[in-house]
């Protein structure tokens, strides 16, 4: 939580004239602060921690550069005129012993009668603006400027919150970059085994998860930092600041403080994002390599299975040959028994010898067995052929 404290001295005396301050008040306007009139328990009741605290004094007492130097106890200070020269602000942007920064605002006396006359005058815009500037600020206008100045200080401090986080990321990102470089070098090794590739993929996955987790944790703070910086610049622009001779301008001081921090945070954010993208590309590359390796292994397995199938076919054909021979042998033996029996029952009916009959019958039996075996094999294959053809047609249809 950001808490700002402002101390506004009397903006005018009687009849709109500036209140006269004694010499001590001129040189030490922060001697008395508004905090002295606030109960301590009220301030301590705020939740959270204080991010910014400022004593802001607003008066109509002009001061020379020497007097301003004494007001800020010799510390270098910055300042600018505000709203076309109708006011000015000065600050040394230091945290003093009481834990507060100090800011001094001076505004020209406000003359309501003069301002009414200016509004009614029929003059050009630039001349009217000049006369308005010479007329000073009213209480409401001064209050808005005080609020703007406190907002500038608040958002300036909030815009610096991401800087320590960005700096703390540098060693982590350097470590991740070194690990990523090691992984990329390993990817160039053409002799990596499948197990080594899987181990390398595990390393990439762990590193990617670490980078993504870091990005998720820092993204809200980095995004808020950009928003705070833009708001701070908008508030500075709304004050329409102009340089004061002999004093460093307040906008240049703001830019000097915020721009390096903004660039550091933006650099860390971009670097972390690129780290995640690079790791993702390396992971995709290694996954592709693993898939190619697996496909090669699958191809080798399929080739081995095809070779085994060829051997099995050869063995099957050899077994079929043995089967034909065995069936022919046993069939011929059975026919031999029949021929012998017939020749004994009806001798002389067969004009040739038994051995001649068997010699002539064996080739016929062998051919018959071979034809019947192949016909049976064709019938069995025909049962599965329609299903295989249908599956192939369905696969072609899906591919189309």
SS3 51: coil
> What is the per-residue pLDDT for 284?
86
Residue 105 CA to its chain's centroid (Å): 44
Picking from 108, 128, 158, the residue at the C-terminal end of a domain is: 158
Cα four-point dihedral sign 154, 160, 165, 168:
negative
> What is the per-residue pLDDT for 339?
78
> What is the per-residue pLDDT for 24?
63
Show the tokens assigned to 346.
Answer: 């009806």
> What is the per-residue pLDDT for 115?
37
For residues 104 and 67, the answer to whether their CB atoms sit within 8 Å is no
Q: Closest Cα partner for 79 from 217, 206, 251, 194?
A: 251
Distance CA 8, CA 30 (A): 11
The two most distant CA atoms of the chain are separated, in Å, by 165
At 9-56, the pLDDT tens digits run 444 444 444 455 566 677 788 887 877 888 878 877 888 788 888 889
Show the tokens assigned to 335.
Answer: 């026919």
SS3 141: helix
Instruction: Establish if 105 belongs to a structural domain.
Output: yes
Distance CA 353, CA 350 (A): 8
Show the tokens assigned to 173.
Answer: 């990102």
C-beta atoms surrounding 33 within 10 Å:
18
Q: Closest Cα partner for 1 from 41, 45, 55?
A: 45
Q: Closest Cα partner for 210 from 291, 279, 138?
A: 279
Instruction: Establish if 54 belongs to a structural domain.
Output: yes
pTM, whole model, 2 decimals? 0.63
Q: Enumerate residue ranges in the chain where pLDDT < 70.
A: 1-24, 110-136, 377-400
Domain count, the chain: 2
Instruction: Establish if 287 belongs to a structural domain.
Output: no
Picking from 124, 158, 192, the residue at the C-terminal end of a domain is: 158
For residues 158 and 51, the answer to whether their CB atoms sit within 8 Å is yes
Q: Pairing state of beta strands 78-82 and 54-59?
A: unpaired
SS3 87: strand
Distance CA 164, CA 264 (A): 10
Which residues form the domain of 139? 1-158
Show the tokens assigned to 61.
Answer: 């007492």
Picking from 141, 158, 175, the residue at the C-terminal end of a domain is: 158
Instruction: Establish if 269 belongs to a structural domain.
Output: no
- CB neighbour list of residue 247: distance below 8 Å, 6 or more residues apart: 65, 77, 78, 79, 80, 90
> What is the per-residue pLDDT for 98?
82
For residues 94 and 101, the answer to whether their CB atoms sit within 8 Å is yes
Instruction: Establish if 334 belongs to a structural domain.
Output: yes
Instruction: Establish if 117 belongs to a structural domain.
Output: yes
Q: Pairing state of beta strands 101-107 and 54-59?
A: parallel
> What is the per-residue pLDDT for 384?
54
> What is the per-residue pLDDT for 150?
92
For residues 51 and 3, the answer to whether their CB atoms sit within 8 Å is yes
> What is the per-residue pLDDT for 396?
56
At 261-312, the pLDDT tens digits run 999 999 999 999 998 888 888 888 888 888 888 888 888 888 888 888 888 8
Instruction: Establish if 255 belongs to a structural domain.
Output: no
Show the tokens assigned to 107.
Answer: 């505004």
Instruction: Establish if 219 belongs to a structural domain.
Output: no
């Amino acid at each position: 939580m950001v808490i700002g404290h402002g101390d506004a001295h009397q903006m005018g005396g009687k009849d709109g004239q500036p209140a006269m301050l004694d010499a001590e008040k001129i040189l030490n306007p922060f001697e008395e602060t508004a905090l002295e009139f606030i109960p301590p328990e009220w301030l301590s009741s705020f939740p959270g921690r204080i991010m910014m605290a400022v004593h802001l004094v607003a008066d109509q007492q002009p001061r020379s550069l020497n007097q301003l130097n004494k007001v800020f106890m010799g510390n270098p200070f910055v300042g600018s005129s505000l709203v076309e020269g109708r006011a000015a602000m000065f600050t040394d942007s230091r945290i003093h012993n009481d834990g507060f920064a100090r800011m001094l605002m001076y505004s020209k006396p406000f003359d309501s009668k003069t301002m009414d006359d200016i509004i009614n005058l029929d003059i050009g815009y630039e001349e009217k603006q000049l006369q308005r500037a010479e007329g000073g600020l009213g209480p409401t206008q001064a209050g808005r400027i005080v609020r703007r100045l406190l907002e500038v200080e608040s958002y300036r401090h909030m815009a610096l919150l991401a800087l320590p986080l960005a700096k703390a990321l540098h060693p982590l990102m350097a470590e991740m970059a070194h690990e990523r470089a090691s992984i990329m070098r390993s990817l160039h090794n053409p002799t990596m085994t499948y197990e080594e590739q899987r181990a390398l993929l595990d390393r990439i996955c762990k590193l990617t998860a670490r980078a993504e987790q870091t990005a998720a944790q820092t993204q809200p703070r980095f995004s808020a930092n950009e928003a705070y910086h833009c708001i701070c610049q908008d508030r500075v622009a709304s004050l329409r600041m102009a340089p004061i001779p002999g004093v460093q301008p307040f906008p240049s001081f703001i830019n000097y403080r915020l721009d390096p921090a903004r660039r550091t945070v933006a650099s860390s954010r971009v670097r972390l994002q690129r780290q995640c993208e690079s790791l993702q590309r390396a992971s995709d590359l290694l996954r592709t390599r693993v898939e190619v390796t697996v496909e090669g292994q699958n191809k080798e397995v399929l080739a081995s299975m095809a070779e085994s199938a060829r051997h099995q076919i050869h063995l099957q054909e050899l077994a079929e040959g043995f089967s034909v021979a065995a069936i022919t042998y046993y069939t011929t033996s059975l026919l031999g028994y029949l021929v012998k029996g017939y020749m004994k029952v009806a001798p002389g009916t067969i004009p040739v010898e038994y051995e001649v009959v068997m010699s002539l019958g064996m080739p016929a039996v062998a051919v018959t067995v071979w034809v019947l075996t192949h016909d049976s094999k064709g019938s069995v294959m025909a049962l599965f052929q329609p299903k295989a053809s249908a599956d192939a047609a369905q696969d072609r249809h899906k591919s189309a």
